[in-house]
Structure 1
Amino acid sequence: MRLIHNSLHDEVADGLRARIFDGVLAPGSFIDEAALCADLAISRTPLREALKVLAAEGLVRHEPRRGSFVSQVTEQDLDEIFPVIALLEGRCALEATRNATDADIAALETLHASLQQHAAAKRITDYYAVNFTIHEAIITLANNRWLAQSIADLRKILKLARLQQLHAPGRLEQSLSEHLAVFAAIKARDGEAADAAMRTHLLRQREALRELARTQKSRLLA
């Protein structure tokens, strides 16, 4: 019975996580447990266990006597997280360069060709999907479970804000250029250059989000 219960609350956690990432449960919004239980046809127990999982991931915060709320990513959060994930993914790029076979390089080349096509057509959602696949491929090639686990934990927080940066003026083209620089370094078997290019790529994402926040603030004040 315990295995079934664990399976249910994991399934509920997956569903809530998807709603958060899709924006159905908006940042800062109150999580109505009664409504969710009715919607999902479950009892309070698996829902509360699922909320504990999401709270541990940083996606949900619990306030005593008030309930649970979807977390909001602050500017300070982004300032603190991006330098860390840049170091981690940079190291992944270095280790991936050391491990990549010719077949792996060919697969990455195909992905980057697709990335270029989506960038040219301004298909941001499709671009982001391929972009994510490329990052995942590089993490897989690094074959370092500690790096992969640490990056996955941070990504759950950054996913709340990351897609937005591609809407900053000129960011799509800049992102593509950065990706091609990472791939060129991997293809040349230059691990140090791949590390540096990946770190630059991640840190520029932070700059793009900062610029986007400034622009949005200016519009609100106008």
Structure 2
Amino acid sequence: MRLVHSSLHQEVADRLRERIFDGGLAPGVFVDEIALCEDMGISRTPLREALKVLTAEGLVRHEPRRGCFVAEVTEQDLDEIFPVIALLEGRCAHEAALHASDADLQELEALHDKLARSAKTKRINDYYATNFAIHEAIIQLAGNRWLAQVITDLRKIVKLARLQQLHAPGRLEQSLSEHLAVFAALKARDAEGAEAAMRTHLTRQRGALRDLSRGQRTRIAS
């Protein structure tokens, strides 16, 4: 499929990012420029510009004289990233509690009702989608584009890990409880409470991912 676009390298970057996130380009794999150019019907120039974009995002690493490889996320990376995300999204919740209108809170309430229904019926994919929408809504309500930009960039790195923390035993119910605590603080216009609840939510999310990873390693070893 040939790509035609006024900003071709950005379109190529979007396509490659999608392949990375859906597993078409696995962590650690060599990025075969010749094969990709043939597959996409493009020259090396827009591909290399696209790879520069993904390298800047941390999704690809470049090794001199060897080429590009899809980045791999380690447990240490996650241990370092999650406290930062918790800090940033906590600040978003703080600002959202101060800025949210009654109409904003009604929309958030509808999302939380949907989240609760997904948890009750164990529809994990629906839960993930609604969970993401809630986080995005709170970030937007904070009204700070710099916070939003940094959070988006960090999320891309976390997404590389391809771990689903809601599969950890009891995590679905715990996650819902944490979300409801954040929302309760938002409704009460309790900025500090919302910030603390959001930071707790993301810290426990990291703990669930760590437990899940340990369980996977134990099963492999046995």
TM (norm. structure 2) is 0.95
1:177 alignment counterpart: 177
Q: Measure, in 2, the Cα distance between the counterparts of 1:58 and 1:180.
A: 33
1:164 alignment counterpart: 164
Q: Measure, in 1, the Cα distance between the counterparts of 2:162 and 2:151.
A: 14
The amino acid across from 2:157 in the alignment is I
Task: Describe the SS at the equivalent of 2:7.
Answer: helix
1:187 alignment counterpart: 187
Q: Gaps spanning 5+ residues in structure 2: where?
A: none
Per-residue CA deviations over 1:120-150 (Å, capped at 9, x if unaligned) read: 2222222111111110100000001121111
Contact 2:5/2:11 (CA < 8 Å) preserved in 1?
no
Figure out how many residues of one structure are paired with residues of the other and give that number. Answer: 219
The amino acid across from 1:15 in the alignment is R
Q: Measure, in 1, the Cα distance between the counterparts of 2:116 and 2:77.
A: 31
C-alpha change, 1:26 and 1:162, in structure 2 (3 Å) is closer
2:88 alignment counterpart: 88
Per-residue CA deviations over 1:77-117 (Å, capped at 9, x if unaligned) read: 01111111101000000000100000000000001111111
Task: Describe the SS at the equivalent of 1:42.
Answer: coil
Superposed displacement of residue 6, structure 1? 6.7
Q: Percent of counterpart pairs with the same letter? A: 75
1:109 alignment counterpart: 109
TM (norm. structure 1) is 0.95
2:58 alignment counterpart: 58
Task: Describe the SS at the equivalent of 1:159.
Answer: helix
Q: Measure, in 2, the Cα distance between the counterparts of 1:12 and 1:78.
A: 27
Q: Measure, in 2, the Cα distance between the counterparts of 1:45 and 1:27.
A: 24
1:100 alignment counterpart: 100
CA RMSD of aligned residues (A): 1.4
Q: Measure, in 1, the Cα distance between the counterparts of 2:64 and 2:72.
A: 18
2:125 alignment counterpart: 125
Q: Measure, in 2, the Cα distance between the counterparts of 1:6 and 1:208.
A: 43
Q: Measure, in 2, the Cα distance between the counterparts of 1:6 and 1:147.
A: 29
The amino acid across from 2:117 in the alignment is Q
